[in-house]
Chains A and B, each alone.
Chain A
């Protein structure tokens, strides 16, 4: 079945350093979503990418969707302690073009040392 893999699983950075998490799918995705979960909290939607090669920015966060629509990345510039949490990518389940069946990657947990 479809798999959405994320690397790395954990990342520790010093405040001010950059951070990147990568998401790879075994199948071509019609779109990909990114979520953030703070410790003890629930996932919160960040963004959805739809187009091949798409790049979107939210302040210090940059999201990219690969040309083949099988991979994506989230880059955080100059991390802050408020960036701490687990970042998930998610894509439609195999055979689905809509996000009713949304499959999540394992997530990347970011810790930031002040």
Chain B
């Protein structure tokens, strides 16, 4: 059971470049989310999905796009990278509801925009 797999683990982009951060889970989780983590800011929700074909904005969606064509995959696209998007990005997934369920996080993608 691989859990939540994020690729790449590290990436350096030039300002204005675009790229896609990949996220895949093999646990048949309905919920999937993307967070960014910056020092002192905690985890901020970028976009989330409650099922295939359904996505919605989180707290900091500007500059990012997502789609959820399958249950397993939830890619995050940076349209035109900016230095302010330098961060650690985490993808996470979860079952719907249940008192004992929480999000399972991937190991993260460390992105630097120069």
Contacts and interface: CB of A to CB of B under 8 A. Distances in A.
Contacts of B85: none
B40 interface: yes
A27 to B, nearest CB: 14
A74 B74 CA distance: 32
Contact of B94 (A1, A9, A99): A99
Interface string B88-112: 0010101011011111111110000
A105 B105 contact: no
Interface residues of A, number: 28
Nearest to A56: B99
Contact of B105 (A9, A42, A93, A99): A42
A106 B42 CA distance: 4
Contacts of A50: 99
A35 interface: yes
A82 B16 CA distance: 42
Interface in B58-114: 58-59, 90, 92, 94, 96-97, 99-108
Give the one of B94, B103, B108 with max A CB within 10 A.
B103
A61 to B, nearest CB: 15
Given A48-B100, A48-B101, A42 B107 contact: yes
A63 interface: no
B50 interface: yes
A1 B44 CA distance: 13
Which of B31, B35, B42, B92 lies at the interface centre, i.e. has the most chain A CB atoms within 10 A of its CB? B42
Contacts of B50: 98, 100
B97 A102 contact: no
B27 interface: no
Given A88-B42, A101-B33, A101-B56, 7 more contacts: A35-B103, A41-B107, A42-B106, A43-B90, A46-B102, A48-B100, A106-B42
